[in-house]
Structure 1
Amino acid sequence: MAEMGFTITELVEAQAQVWNLLLSYLKSMCLKCSLELGIADALKKQGKPMELSELSFALSIPPSKFDCFRRFMTTLVHLELFAEQQDDSGATKYILTPASYLLVKDETMNITPFLTLILDPIMCDSSHVFMPWFKSHKETPFEFYFGKGFWDFVGEKPEFSKMFNEGMASDSRLVSEVVMMNCKDVFNGLKSIVDVGGGKGSMAKSITHAFPGIKCTVFDLPHVIDSLEEDRQPGVEYVGGDMFVSVPHANAVLLKWILHDWDNEECIKILQRCKEAIPSIADGGKIIIIDIVVGASRNKHPYAVETQLLFDLLMMNITSGRERNECEWRKIFLSAGFIDYKITHFLGLRSIIELYH
């Protein structure tokens, strides 16, 4: 029997696909639980593969939960967050993977604060109201759910603001490590750079360390800059202001994961203010954008584009922004008065865009 021209086999396979979508929220919950348990930290501390009994003991898992923990780890291994290996006696032991290495809290490239931010209920809860939001006049599901825009919410909640800044800083540490290893030439020849929306200054610190001759300025909202008294890097200038009004002058402006927070018209305004702050291409001026270019990635994982699209939905959920493909980026650049750009796909799902006028 077939319905609408579909075979029974196709419909059964489709049911499996829909069930996978249905249960995908448990992937996030498994990730959250692994962070809270500190599984990656325990494996790193041990310094060698661990049997399940050793791992459960290190994490203070009671014996009554041993079989549940085994099932949990089986799923995490299937998701490639951790891996199994057999020793000479045939015993199964657990090891870190590249993914779980990023969860080790004392490592430079630890992204736990960013994951903690994205998994927080404040970031997740408004996704439950997509349907009524589509039929409302509110700008975002976040505003529909909480009664105010995301940036207003951040400004009124010091603890969440701190979590947000720490999450962004952890991402900047990873990005700066990769940029300085693989794309260092982007900064060659620059005498000064302004990190717009630079938060805690992680990118500026890395640039200053790698290029002592570049004068770095962290530019962000006044309340963000005022909160950095204990985190300031010697040799880095910190300036408070509004990127929609003006940007400090420099050879180059850095916009790391900034433009995806804003709609097209707002992006054009930001880029125009940045354009006013830098010299022309003939005098070595440029804007350095680190952001997603949808459909373009050096990451060959089959879920690369899917992840980019899911990030687009995250932006739709909490801000007026979006992730963009190259055609959409080009329209913004031309509208803002720029004449040329260069895209380098270097950072997993994100790219470096060098923009000139």
Structure 2
Amino acid sequence: MFLDNCLDEVAEAGLVSFRCRSEAAQDGNMGEAFVSHSRSQSGTNFQNSFHFPFHFPKQGRKRMPPTADSIHAANADVLDAQDAHATLLNHTLSYIKSTCLKCVVELRIPDAIHHHGIPVTIPDLISSLSIPEAKSRRLRIMMRLLSLEGIFKSHVTLSGEEAFDLTPVSRLLTTVMPHRPSSSPIVVMLLDHHYLDPCQQLSRWFHRPDVAITPFEMTYGKPFWNLKEVQPEFDDLFNNGMASDSAAFMDILKHIGGEVFQGIGTLVDVGGGTGKAAAALVKAFPGMKCTVLDLPHVVNKAEKMDGIQFVGGDMFADIPPADVALLKWILHDWSDEECIKILQCCKEAIPPKENGGKVIIVDIVVGVGINTQTTLETQLLFDLLMMMQYGGKERDVDEWHKLFMAAGLSNYKITPSIGLRSIIEVYP
């Protein structure tokens, strides 16, 4: 009734007008009203209309004169509904932001801006990228959208033209900076159809009684790791994505978490792929010797590097001996039971704590080290991704604690120092 009264009053004040869908909706009945709302802001008129269930007054009911509060309340309701609708559509269309991000990576727009040296205009950009001039407006809209998201930065030149420059985010996507590893491969990996299509199965997955079958397996008929083995292109996409992340991450880690690796004689990188993390460690700590353990078909593709030995094997069965076992973005791929097996194999591979033995885990600890809403949201997005693709999960402090105790490890230390991820040192 509150909204009924408000709209009665503001209609008389001329701020809104309404009409019913049918005569049956009048005279005290519930009907569907069409409301038109006008407001002026900075000299500009805005017209908006929508419909909603509305209680019409009975004939002969005395109308009270409108008050400023009731007019304001009705006006606020209309504006709130408009904002809510815009927010809903923004979330619904957010996939376009991700696909535009993939597009600029594939077009190598960050490299083009870097080579240009100064903020680049759209005519200069389409010329350097050999894009048809007829598509310049569409490219401008895409660049404006990504500028609003902080991927690029929009400028107005002295001649009045719009130009675009790199930001710290888009600098991560350049492939031509010799001392900065590119994150482009992991962006392309995460936006591949093998990652997007399983999302369409999420509602069906929630209705299934079994937990073991992932949305990925529902989509492709095989678990993630099995499909990767029989699709070489997908396998390369994954390995290249993880290698780029390892190189970029270790470049940061050696500056802000290097003390964790100081004094280590030998290290085994469990699930270390093609050895990018190990290569960064050997370069940063010349006295360290590294072994990279991964599946045979993965290590067979790795380039030979000084100070690094590649071993094809199974981390669930046997891990080569070393002073320290490194698990970088490994355990979040697996269930608790599988993680316990991996940790127990690591425990068997390293010496006692007093002799320097430890397991170094680089992974997300949900809720730890959070300093922005974006960081927490990204941690939760990864949690859902792990479930959909691999049947794994991101873990909070309590879940990590239970895992370590179940594996027979003694104690641990968490250092929240690397954005989304933390360093966890676990001792036998």
TMscore range, shorter length = over 0.9
In 1, the alpha carbon distance for the partners of 2:134 and 2:108 equals: 19
Q: Residue 283 of structure 1 aligns with which residue? A: 355
Q: Residue 330 of structure 1 aligns with which residue? A: 401
Distance 1:87 1:17, change over 3 A: closer
1:90, distance to aligned residue in structure 2 (A): 4.1
Q: Residue 50 of structure 1 aligns with which residue? A: 120
Equivalent positions of 1:190-339 (< 5 A) are 190-228=264-302, 231-297=303-369, 300-339=371-410
In 1, the alpha carbon distance for the partners of 2:101 and 2:369 equals: 24
In 2, the alpha carbon distance for the partners of 1:145 and 1:284 equals: 45
Equivalent positions of 1:75-86 (< 5 A) are 75-86=145-156
Under a length normalisation based on structure 2, what TM-score does the superposition of the two structures give?
Answer: 0.79
> Among residues 216, 221, 227, which one is paired with 1:142 in the alignment?
216
Q: Residue 94 of structure 1 aligns with which residue? A: 164
Equivalent positions of 1:32-51 (< 5 A) are 32-51=102-121
In 2, the alpha carbon distance for the partners of 1:232 and 1:261 equals: 27
Matched, 1:179 2:253: yes
Q: Residue 420 of structure 2 aligns with which residue? A: 349
Deviations 1:110-136 (A, max 9, x none): 011111111111121111111122223
Deviations 1:124-155 (A, max 9, x none): 11111111222234610011111110100011
Matched, 1:164 2:238: yes
Structure 1 residue matching 2:153: 3-state secondary structure = strand
1:211, distance to aligned residue in structure 2 (A): 1.4
Q: Residue 123 of structure 1 aligns with which residue? A: 195
Counterpart AA for 1:242: D
Counterpart AA for 2:145: T
1:205, distance to aligned residue in structure 2 (A): 0.8
Which ranges in structure 1 are unaligned for 5 or more consecutive residues? none
> Among residues 408, 411, 425, which one is paired with 1:340 in the alignment?
411
In 2, the alpha carbon distance for the partners of 1:30 and 1:212 equals: 41
In 2, the alpha carbon distance for the partners of 1:12 and 1:234 equals: 62
Contact 2:144 2:154 survives alignment (8 Å): no
Counterpart AA for 2:314: D
In 2, the alpha carbon distance for the partners of 1:356 and 1:73 equals: 49
In 1, the alpha carbon distance for the partners of 2:283 and 2:88 equals: 49
Structure 1 residue matching 2:253: 3-state secondary structure = helix
Contact 2:324 2:360 survives alignment (8 Å): yes
**Which structure has the greater CA radius of gyration?**
2
Counterpart AA for 2:147: V
In 2, the alpha carbon distance for the partners of 1:124 and 1:88 equals: 42
In 2, the alpha carbon distance for the partners of 1:55 and 1:280 equals: 58
Matched, 1:110 2:182: yes
Question: Number of matched residues?
Answer: 353
Equivalent positions of 1:67-82 (< 5 A) are 67-82=137-152
Deviations 1:141-200 (A, max 9, x none): 011111110100011111111111111100000011011111111111211100000001
Higher mean alpha-carbon deviation, 134-143 vs 182-191, is at 134-143
Higher mean alpha-carbon deviation, 262-271 vs 99-108, is at 99-108
1:91, distance to aligned residue in structure 2 (A): 3.6
Structure 2 residue matching 1:303: 3-state secondary structure = helix
Q: Which has the higher contact order (CA 8 A, sep 6+)?
A: 1
In 2, the alpha carbon distance for the partners of 1:25 and 1:134 equals: 22
Deviations 1:298-337 (A, max 9, x none): 5x33211111111111111111101111111111111111
In 1, the alpha carbon distance for the partners of 2:145 and 2:285 equals: 44
Higher mean alpha-carbon deviation, 306-315 vs 12-21, is at 12-21
Deviations 1:250-273 (A, max 9, x none): 110000000000011111111011
1:8, distance to aligned residue in structure 2 (A): 5.1
Higher mean alpha-carbon deviation, 176-185 vs 335-344, is at 335-344
Which ranges in structure 2 are unaligned for 5 or more consecutive residues? 5-51, 54-75
In 2, the alpha carbon distance for the partners of 1:8 and 1:271 equals: 57
Higher mean alpha-carbon deviation, 259-268 vs 326-335, is at 326-335
Matched, 1:151 2:225: yes
Higher mean alpha-carbon deviation, 97-106 vs 165-174, is at 97-106
Identity over aligned pairs, percent: 45
1:21, distance to aligned residue in structure 2 (A): 1.6
Q: Residue 61 of structure 1 aligns with which residue? A: 131
